Amino acid sequence: MVEAQKQGTKKMDEATFQSKLAELMGEISTLPKAERDKLANLAAQTQQRHQKLRKTVSDLQESLDYLRVAIKYLVFDLEATRRENRYLRDMLEQDQPGDAGNDAEEV
């Protein structure tokens, strides 16, 4: 995209694309029938591909949003597990010195 900007091409938004496509269709309608049918078909295919691309990008954005939420949940779960492990280790360390003395008294 940076290359395209260096070459002087501008990023085209949806409204500009639709406007240019409508303009193209208008120009195509002035051509002789043989050429008009061929180019009209190509323009229609372009519009279909554009719509498919937009849907694919939208689906990808949804997937990325879901992935972000899933990662946040996993990080939260990992932090909670670490806290729980620390707490349980502290409990074990507190019990160990007392257990060693109890074993000696039982013998």
d(CA 106, CA 45): 87
State residue 58's pLDDT score: 96
**Structurally, how many domains does the chain consist of?**
1
Instruction: Answer for the pair 21, 46: CB distance below 8 angstroms, yes or no.
Output: yes
Examine residue 2 and state whether it is found in any structural domain, yes or no. no
Question: In the numeric block, which tokens belong to residue 4?
Answer: 């395209």
Examine residue 73 and state whether it is found in any structural domain, yes or no. yes
Examine residue 6 and state whether it is found in any structural domain, yes or no. no
d(CA 52, CA 50): 5
Question: In the numeric block, which tokens belong to residue 26?
Answer: 């208008």
Sign of CA dihedral 19, 23, 29, 35: negative
Ramachandran quadrant class, 12 (left: phi over 0; alpha: psi -120 to 50; beta: rest) = beta
Other CB atoms within a 10 A radius of the CB of residue 40 amount to: 15
For residue 46, what are the domain limits? 13-106
Examine residue 63 and state whether it is found in any structural domain, yes or no. yes
Examine residue 41 and state whether it is found in any structural domain, yes or no. yes
State residue 107's pLDDT score: 43
Residue-wise pLDDT tens for the chain (107 aa)?
Answer: 445 445 555 677 888 888 888 888 888 888 888 888 888 888 889 889 999 999 999 999 999 999 999 999 999 999 999 999 999 999 999 987 655 555 544 44
Examine residue 39 and state whether it is found in any structural domain, yes or no. yes
pTM of the model: 0.57
Examine residue 81 and state whether it is found in any structural domain, yes or no. yes
Examine residue 1 and state whether it is found in any structural domain, yes or no. no
State residue 100's pLDDT score: 52
